[in-house]
Amino acid sequence: MSTYVDPEKAYVWQDGDAFRAPAGTLIPANPFAPSPSTGTGTPVVWDPFGGIEAGFEQNPSQDTKELNIWNNRKSAYKLARGPRSDRFKMKPVDYSKATVSTVLQGGAITQVGSTDVFRWDVGDSEEFAILLRLYDDEDSLVLYCSRVTLFTPPARNLGGDKIDGWDMELLALSEVVPYTNTNPLAI
């Protein structure tokens, strides 16, 4: 029986939040604060997405190419790596400012005359900063990216026994940086 297993070093992220801010916004000084904000004086307050169905999915990818030479037949001689690409998937279900702003892709909602009718004018694209925060008891993880964009228009499932929401896929346009509230190498 192994004596190296330790469930204290494994995580089940069963709770979390997502926030957005204008593109280029720096990570908050304390990304684990209940209401994250960046800067002093008039800080940038990160807008919460609210309810999210089934957590987040992070999908990194990177093109690689094995480079061989004719006088070395035992293995690849070098490996060429392309840039890393990260995508996030999540399904926000609250009609929050963050969710609706993301769906609008830089567009706007305008009132039709003086009626109770509001037109959603979806834009072409928009960039923003994202902060994804996850919890497992006392442990926390944040994934931060200063520039992301909606990769494809989000699909929806309207009606039936499912919560209305948007299946969003976000493309990271800058580095995704993880932050934790503990140092796993020091444990």
pLDDT tens per residue across span 110-137: 999 999 999 999 999 999 999 999 999 9
The alpha carbon of residue 111 and the mean position of all alpha carbons in its chain are separated, in whole angstroms, by 31
pLDDT at residue 53, as a whole number: 93
Examine the pLDDT at 159 and tell me if it is beyond 90: no
In a domain, residue 50? The reply is: yes
In a domain, residue 82? The reply is: yes
Examine the pLDDT at 40 and tell me if it is beyond 90: no
> What mean pLDDT do residues 35-49 have?
94
Q: Which tokens belong to 185?
A: 């190498």
pLDDT at residue 158, as a whole number: 87
In a domain, residue 1? The reply is: no
pTM for the predicted model, two decimal places: 0.91
Total domain count, the chain: 1
In a domain, residue 67? The reply is: no
150 and 126 in contact (C-beta within 8 Å)? yes
Range of the domain at 124: 11-61+77-180
Examine the pLDDT at 143 and tell me if it is beyond 90: yes
